[in-house]
A and B are shown apart, each in its own frame.
Chain A
Amino acid sequence: MPTAAQESLNSTTHIHEIYIKATPAAIWDAVTSPEWTAKYGYRGMSEYELKAGGKFRARANEQMRSMGLPEVIVDGEVIEASPPHKLVQTYRFLFNDAHRDEGFSRITWEIVQTEKDFCRLTITHEIPASAPMMKGAVTSKFSTQGGGGWNWILSDLKSLLETGKTMS
Protein backbone atom coordinates (compact mmCIF):
# COMPACT_ATOMS: atom_id res chain seq x y z
CA MET A 1 0.00 0.00 0.00
CA PRO A 2 1.37 3.43 -0.89
CA THR A 3 1.52 5.95 1.94
CA ALA A 4 -0.99 8.77 2.13
CA ALA A 5 1.69 11.21 1.03
CA GLN A 6 2.52 9.18 -2.08
CA GLU A 7 -1.13 8.86 -2.88
CA SER A 8 -1.77 12.55 -2.57
CA LEU A 9 1.05 13.22 -5.02
CA ASN A 10 -0.35 10.82 -7.58
CA SER A 11 -4.03 11.48 -7.28
CA THR A 12 -6.43 14.38 -7.32
CA THR A 13 -9.24 14.80 -4.83
CA HIS A 14 -12.69 15.98 -5.85
CA ILE A 15 -15.37 16.82 -3.33
CA HIS A 16 -19.08 16.94 -4.02
CA GLU A 17 -21.44 17.94 -1.26
CA ILE A 18 -25.19 18.30 -1.04
CA TYR A 19 -27.87 18.87 1.60
CA ILE A 20 -30.86 16.57 1.32
CA LYS A 21 -34.09 16.64 3.29
CA ALA A 22 -34.11 12.97 4.25
CA THR A 23 -32.95 10.66 7.04
CA PRO A 24 -29.44 9.17 7.04
CA ALA A 25 -30.97 5.71 6.56
CA ALA A 26 -32.94 6.81 3.49
CA ILE A 27 -29.83 8.32 1.89
CA TRP A 28 -27.77 5.24 2.77
CA ASP A 29 -30.33 3.02 1.06
CA ALA A 30 -30.46 5.29 -1.97
CA VAL A 31 -26.68 4.94 -2.36
CA THR A 32 -26.26 1.25 -1.60
CA SER A 33 -29.30 -0.56 -2.99
CA PRO A 34 -29.79 -1.40 -6.66
CA GLU A 35 -33.53 -0.71 -6.50
CA TRP A 36 -32.71 2.90 -5.62
CA THR A 37 -29.68 3.49 -7.82
CA ALA A 38 -31.73 2.34 -10.81
CA LYS A 39 -33.98 5.37 -10.25
CA TYR A 40 -31.59 8.32 -10.46
CA GLY A 41 -28.42 9.51 -12.16
CA TYR A 42 -27.17 7.11 -14.80
CA ARG A 43 -29.55 4.46 -13.46
CA GLY A 44 -27.16 1.56 -13.15
CA MET A 45 -27.81 -0.98 -10.42
CA SER A 46 -25.24 -0.81 -7.61
CA GLU A 47 -24.68 -3.93 -5.55
CA TYR A 48 -22.62 -3.79 -2.36
CA GLU A 49 -21.44 -6.47 0.03
CA LEU A 50 -21.49 -4.10 2.95
CA LYS A 51 -18.42 -5.24 4.89
CA ALA A 52 -14.69 -4.57 4.69
CA GLY A 53 -13.32 -6.54 1.75
CA GLY A 54 -16.81 -6.98 0.28
CA LYS A 55 -17.51 -6.72 -3.42
CA PHE A 56 -19.00 -3.74 -5.18
CA ARG A 57 -20.35 -3.75 -8.68
CA ALA A 58 -22.76 -1.72 -10.74
CA ARG A 59 -24.74 -3.53 -13.39
CA ALA A 60 -25.82 -1.99 -16.64
CA ASN A 61 -29.53 -1.45 -17.14
CA GLU A 62 -31.29 -2.56 -20.31
CA GLN A 63 -30.74 0.72 -22.09
CA MET A 64 -27.01 0.67 -21.34
CA ARG A 65 -26.68 -2.88 -22.61
CA SER A 66 -28.48 -1.96 -25.80
CA MET A 67 -25.79 0.72 -26.23
CA GLY A 68 -23.18 -2.02 -26.12
CA LEU A 69 -22.00 -1.64 -22.53
CA PRO A 70 -20.99 -4.80 -20.65
CA GLU A 71 -23.10 -6.47 -17.97
CA VAL A 72 -20.97 -5.03 -15.17
CA ILE A 73 -20.01 -1.41 -15.80
CA VAL A 74 -18.27 -0.48 -12.54
CA ASP A 75 -16.52 -2.64 -9.96
CA GLY A 76 -14.56 -2.22 -6.77
CA GLU A 77 -14.14 -3.29 -3.19
CA VAL A 78 -15.68 -2.10 0.05
CA ILE A 79 -13.00 -0.78 2.41
CA GLU A 80 -15.26 0.37 5.22
CA ALA A 81 -19.01 0.14 5.70
CA SER A 82 -20.53 1.92 8.71
CA PRO A 83 -24.24 2.27 7.95
CA PRO A 84 -25.82 4.74 7.71
CA HIS A 85 -22.95 7.22 7.93
CA LYS A 86 -19.81 6.16 6.15
CA LEU A 87 -18.85 4.03 3.19
CA VAL A 88 -15.37 3.80 1.73
CA GLN A 89 -14.80 1.88 -1.48
CA THR A 90 -12.64 1.51 -4.54
CA TYR A 91 -14.22 2.24 -7.90
CA ARG A 92 -13.22 1.32 -11.45
CA PHE A 93 -15.04 1.81 -14.74
CA LEU A 94 -15.41 -1.24 -16.99
CA PHE A 95 -17.03 0.43 -19.98
CA ASN A 96 -14.22 -0.87 -22.20
CA ASP A 97 -10.60 -2.08 -21.96
CA ALA A 98 -9.20 1.45 -21.86
CA HIS A 99 -11.34 2.33 -18.85
CA ARG A 100 -10.51 -0.96 -17.15
CA ASP A 101 -6.79 -0.29 -17.60
CA GLU A 102 -7.07 3.05 -15.80
CA GLY A 103 -7.54 1.08 -12.60
CA PHE A 104 -9.20 1.89 -9.31
CA SER A 105 -10.03 5.19 -7.70
CA ARG A 106 -11.33 5.62 -4.17
CA ILE A 107 -14.63 7.06 -2.99
CA THR A 108 -15.65 8.03 0.53
CA TRP A 109 -19.35 8.60 1.13
CA GLU A 110 -20.26 10.48 4.31
CA ILE A 111 -23.75 11.15 5.57
CA VAL A 112 -24.11 13.58 8.48
CA GLN A 113 -27.37 14.78 9.96
CA THR A 114 -27.04 18.56 10.21
CA GLU A 115 -30.53 19.56 11.30
CA LYS A 116 -33.66 17.75 12.35
CA ASP A 117 -34.72 17.02 8.80
CA PHE A 118 -31.56 17.58 6.79
CA CYS A 119 -28.46 15.55 6.05
CA ARG A 120 -25.25 16.49 4.35
CA LEU A 121 -23.98 13.93 1.88
CA THR A 122 -20.34 14.31 0.91
CA ILE A 123 -18.58 12.33 -1.77
CA THR A 124 -14.79 12.52 -1.75
CA HIS A 125 -13.43 10.97 -4.91
CA GLU A 126 -9.68 10.40 -5.10
CA ILE A 127 -8.69 9.72 -8.67
CA PRO A 128 -5.20 8.52 -9.57
CA ALA A 129 -3.26 10.37 -12.22
CA SER A 130 -3.46 7.17 -14.28
CA ALA A 131 -7.23 7.64 -14.75
CA PRO A 132 -7.82 10.79 -16.83
CA MET A 133 -10.92 9.35 -18.51
CA MET A 134 -12.56 8.65 -15.18
CA LYS A 135 -11.69 12.14 -13.98
CA GLY A 136 -13.24 13.59 -17.12
CA ALA A 137 -16.40 11.53 -16.71
CA VAL A 138 -17.14 12.21 -13.05
CA THR A 139 -16.32 15.91 -13.16
CA SER A 140 -17.83 16.54 -16.58
CA LYS A 141 -19.92 19.58 -17.27
CA PHE A 142 -23.62 19.16 -17.70
CA SER A 143 -23.60 20.51 -21.21
CA THR A 144 -21.52 17.70 -22.65
CA GLN A 145 -23.07 14.56 -23.98
CA GLY A 146 -23.50 11.80 -21.41
CA GLY A 147 -22.05 14.26 -18.94
CA GLY A 148 -23.01 15.55 -15.58
CA GLY A 149 -20.91 13.42 -13.30
CA TRP A 150 -21.42 13.52 -9.55
CA ASN A 151 -22.92 17.04 -9.61
CA TRP A 152 -25.76 15.83 -11.75
CA ILE A 153 -26.16 12.48 -9.95
CA LEU A 154 -26.45 14.22 -6.57
CA SER A 155 -28.88 16.81 -7.86
CA ASP A 156 -31.04 14.01 -9.27
CA LEU A 157 -30.78 12.04 -6.00
CA LYS A 158 -31.90 15.07 -4.00
CA SER A 159 -34.85 15.54 -6.30
CA LEU A 160 -35.83 11.87 -5.99
CA LEU A 161 -35.61 11.75 -2.18
CA GLU A 162 -37.33 15.09 -1.58
CA THR A 163 -40.05 15.04 -4.22
CA GLY A 164 -40.27 11.41 -5.30
CA LYS A 165 -39.46 12.52 -8.82
CA THR A 166 -36.24 12.76 -10.78
CA MET A 167 -35.45 15.55 -13.17
CA SER A 168 -34.86 13.73 -16.41
Chain B
Amino acid sequence: MHSDDLVFKALGDSSRRFLLDLLHKRDGQTLGELEWELTMTRFGVMKHLKVLEEAGLVITRREGREKLHFLNAVPIRLIHDRWIDKYKERELSALVDLKKSLENAKCPPQRKRA
Protein backbone atom coordinates (compact mmCIF):
# COMPACT_ATOMS: atom_id res chain seq x y z
CA MET B 1 0.00 0.00 0.00
CA HIS B 2 1.16 3.48 -0.77
CA SER B 3 1.47 4.97 2.65
CA ASP B 4 2.46 8.53 3.38
CA ASP B 5 5.79 7.19 4.63
CA LEU B 6 6.81 5.98 1.18
CA VAL B 7 5.88 9.31 -0.38
CA PHE B 8 7.72 11.39 2.22
CA LYS B 9 10.75 9.13 1.87
CA ALA B 10 10.66 9.40 -1.92
CA LEU B 11 10.40 13.19 -1.76
CA GLY B 12 13.23 13.45 0.75
CA ASP B 13 15.96 13.37 -1.88
CA SER B 14 16.92 16.13 -4.28
CA SER B 15 17.71 13.79 -7.20
CA ARG B 16 14.31 12.19 -6.93
CA ARG B 17 12.60 15.58 -6.74
CA PHE B 18 14.57 16.58 -9.81
CA LEU B 19 13.33 13.46 -11.64
CA LEU B 20 9.74 14.41 -10.75
CA ASP B 21 10.35 17.93 -12.07
CA LEU B 22 11.67 16.48 -15.33
CA LEU B 23 8.52 14.40 -15.74
CA HIS B 24 6.37 17.36 -14.77
CA LYS B 25 7.97 19.29 -17.60
CA ARG B 26 7.53 16.43 -20.05
CA ASP B 27 5.62 13.29 -19.19
CA GLY B 28 6.38 9.84 -20.57
CA GLN B 29 10.18 9.79 -20.77
CA THR B 30 12.47 6.80 -21.15
CA LEU B 31 15.24 5.88 -18.73
CA GLY B 32 17.76 7.03 -21.32
CA GLU B 33 16.18 10.48 -21.58
CA LEU B 34 16.04 10.93 -17.81
CA GLU B 35 19.58 9.66 -17.36
CA TRP B 36 20.81 12.30 -19.80
CA GLU B 37 19.72 15.05 -17.40
CA LEU B 38 21.42 13.67 -14.29
CA THR B 39 25.08 13.40 -13.46
CA MET B 40 24.75 9.90 -12.13
CA THR B 41 25.09 6.33 -13.34
CA ARG B 42 22.28 4.52 -15.07
CA PHE B 43 22.07 2.24 -12.07
CA GLY B 44 21.68 5.23 -9.75
CA VAL B 45 18.84 6.68 -11.81
CA MET B 46 17.14 3.27 -11.88
CA LYS B 47 17.37 3.01 -8.10
CA HIS B 48 15.78 6.43 -7.65
CA LEU B 49 13.03 5.64 -10.15
CA LYS B 50 12.28 2.43 -8.25
CA VAL B 51 11.78 4.35 -5.00
CA LEU B 52 9.49 6.79 -6.84
CA GLU B 53 7.54 3.89 -8.35
CA GLU B 54 7.11 2.22 -4.97
CA ALA B 55 5.64 5.45 -3.63
CA GLY B 56 3.22 5.61 -6.57
CA LEU B 57 4.75 8.88 -7.78
CA VAL B 58 6.02 7.38 -11.03
CA ILE B 59 4.06 4.96 -13.19
CA THR B 60 5.65 3.05 -16.07
CA ARG B 61 4.02 1.95 -19.29
CA ARG B 62 5.56 -0.18 -21.96
CA GLU B 63 5.18 1.22 -25.44
CA GLY B 64 6.69 -1.02 -28.09
CA ARG B 65 10.26 -1.67 -27.04
CA GLU B 66 10.38 1.31 -24.70
CA LYS B 67 9.44 1.74 -21.09
CA LEU B 68 8.03 5.20 -20.46
CA HIS B 69 7.90 6.93 -17.09
CA PHE B 70 4.90 9.05 -16.12
CA LEU B 71 4.43 11.38 -13.18
CA ASN B 72 1.50 10.54 -10.92
CA ALA B 73 0.96 13.57 -8.70
CA VAL B 74 -2.07 12.15 -6.87
CA PRO B 75 -0.06 10.96 -3.80
CA ILE B 76 1.36 14.48 -3.44
CA ARG B 77 -2.16 15.86 -3.62
CA LEU B 78 -3.23 13.42 -0.89
CA ILE B 79 -0.39 14.61 1.33
CA HIS B 80 -1.34 18.18 0.57
CA ASP B 81 -4.95 17.53 1.53
CA ARG B 82 -4.06 15.56 4.65
CA TRP B 83 -1.05 17.47 5.98
CA ILE B 84 -0.78 20.88 4.43
CA ASP B 85 -4.27 22.15 3.75
CA LYS B 86 -5.18 21.55 7.38
CA TYR B 87 -2.45 23.79 8.74
CA LYS B 88 -2.28 26.28 5.92
CA GLU B 89 -5.31 28.45 6.33
CA ARG B 90 -4.49 30.27 9.52
CA GLU B 91 -0.90 30.95 8.55
CA LEU B 92 -1.89 32.10 5.13
CA SER B 93 -4.39 34.60 6.41
CA ALA B 94 -1.80 35.84 8.91
CA LEU B 95 0.65 36.34 6.05
CA VAL B 96 -1.96 38.14 4.02
CA ASP B 97 -2.63 40.44 6.96
CA LEU B 98 1.08 41.08 7.36
CA LYS B 99 1.47 41.86 3.67
CA LYS B 100 -1.42 44.27 3.80
CA SER B 101 -0.18 46.10 6.86
CA LEU B 102 3.33 46.38 5.40
CA GLU B 103 2.01 47.70 2.12
CA ASN B 104 -0.13 50.20 3.94
CA ALA B 105 2.68 51.21 6.25
CA LYS B 106 2.64 54.74 4.89
CA CYS B 107 -0.84 55.16 6.16
CA PRO B 108 -1.02 53.20 9.41
CA PRO B 109 -4.22 51.35 10.21
CA GLN B 110 -6.80 53.62 11.63
CA ARG B 111 -7.82 53.08 15.19
CA LYS B 112 -11.41 52.63 15.91
CA ARG B 113 -12.69 55.81 17.30
CA ALA B 114 -14.41 55.67 20.59
Contacts and interface: CB of A to CB of B under 8 A. Distances in A.
Interface of A: 8, 12-19, 115, 118, 122, 142, 148, 150-152, 154-155, 158-159, 167
Interface size class of B (residues with CB under 8 A): 10 to 19
- The secondary-structure label for the interface of chain A is mixed
Contact of A17 (B1, B28, B72, B76): B72
Contact of B74 (A12, A13, A17): A17
B21 interface: no
Nearest to B85: A167
Interface of B: 1-2, 27-28, 56, 59, 61, 63, 70-74, 76-78, 80-81, 85
Given A13-B28, A14-B27, A15-B61, A155 B70 contact: no
Contacts of B59: 15, 17, 122
B81 A12 contact: no
Contacts of B74: 16-18, 150-151, 154-155
B73 A16 contact: yes
A151 B70 contact: no
Contacts, number: 49
Contacts of B80: 142
Given A151-B77, A155-B78, A8 B63 contact: yes
A152 B77 contact: yes
A19 B71 CA distance: 16
Nearest to B69: A15
Given A17-B56, A158-B78, A167-B85, A118 B72 contact: no
Contacts of B1: 19, 115, 118
Contacts of B77: 142, 148, 151-152, 154-155
Contacts of A18: 74, 78
A12 B28 contact: yes
Given A8-B63, A115-B1, A13 B70 contact: yes
Nearest to A118: B1
Contacts of A118: 1
A148 B74 CA distance: 10
B72 to A, nearest CB: 5
A155 B80 CA distance: 10
